[in-house]
Amino acid sequence: MAQLRCVLFVTLSLLASRVVAGELLAPEMPVEQVIDHYVKQRLTEKQIQPAPLADDCTLVRRTTLDVAGRIPTVAEVQSYANSTEGDKRAKLVERLLASPDFALHFRNELDTLLMGGQKGSNNEWREYLLKSVRNGRSWDQMFRDMLIGSEDDAEIKPALTFLKSRVRELDELTNETTTIFFGVNVSCAKCHDHPLVSDWKQDHYFGMTSFFQRTYQTKKNGLAEKFSGEVKFKTVKGEDKVAKFMFLTGATIDEPVVEV
């Protein structure tokens, strides 16, 4: 069900411009019915005719490929096609989500998303992803593992591979963190405020960069943090600025004063 809740979150995010609190369905409704409701609502608004329902053989093939990363066996196709159960589609999805194939497939998808093109991917990292999927580790917890995890915790130490593979390239780390975890690309705000999106300014870009500025990789492949270090940048008007610790929401953090 954790995977289905993730799908629901994405669906509502895509429809967010049209969904307000008063229109939300009852929380006890099955998640698949909620998704169908909002998708159908948007299709109706846009006067888009949905594709016809897929036949059994097509559906079991597509679903197995999407969820398990493989084509179904002949026996699986025959079993599904011969079933007369009214909820056989839901049972197909639940069976595949509970199968070992799902964990392996989703691990590979996460590895591609998080480490595609990076040289730092390794067996320990992939094993961390696999265990996380199998144990239903939440996405927000995995985010914390990857960006603020502890080297002393053997269980989550491999998650720091994400950070270690990028820590020497500050711009890459900033861009990929905002893109992968927050779903926005603020890379153009490095040079100027976004010309079309008023929310993304140079302050946002360098504010995110500030969180990573002091992190560095040790000679023993560990991670450490420097005591100080500011991010300075020049605006398009030539003004010199020191970046604050700033989230993409615009919220800032005042660094506590430490007396030495």
For the segment 25-62, what is each residue's pLDDT rounded down to a tens digit?
Answer: 888 888 888 999 999 999 999 999 999 999 999 999 99
- Taking only Cα atoms into account, the Rg of the chain, rounded to an integer number of angstroms, comes to 23
Of 149, 158, 96, give the one whose Cα is nearest residue 127. Answer: 158
For the segment 197-208, what is each residue's pLDDT rounded down to a tens digit?
Answer: 888 899 999 999
In sequence order, the β-bridge partners of residue 253 are 245
Is residue 252 predicted with pLDDT exceeding 80? yes
- Contact indicator for 133, 141 with CB cutoff of 8 Å: no
Q: Residue 221: which pLDDT band, with cuts at 50, 70 and 90?
A: confident
Q: Residue 15: which pLDDT band, with cuts at 50, 70 and 90?
A: very low
- Contact indicator for 240, 248 with CB cutoff of 8 Å: no
Q: Cα 48–53–59 angle (5° rounding)?
A: 130
Name the packing angle between helices 88-97 and 100-115 (round to 10°): 70
pLDDT given at position 225? 86
pLDDT given at position 8? 45
As a whole number of angstroms, the distance between CA 91 and CA 105 comes to: 19
| pTM score of the predicted model | 0.79
pLDDT given at position 194? 83
pLDDT given at position 98? 95
For the segment 174-202, what is each residue's pLDDT rounded down to a tens digit?
Answer: 999 999 999 988 898 888 988 888 888 99
More confident residue, 161 or 225: 161
Q: How many CA atoms lie within 13 A of 119 on its CB side?
A: 2
pLDDT given at position 116? 85
pLDDT given at position 7? 46
> Between β-strands 252-253 and 245-246, what pairing exists: parallel, antiparallel or unpaired?
antiparallel
For the segment 81-121, what is each residue's pLDDT rounded down to a tens digit?
Answer: 999 999 999 999 999 999 999 999 999 999 999 998 677 77
Is residue 238 predicted with pLDDT exceeding 50? yes
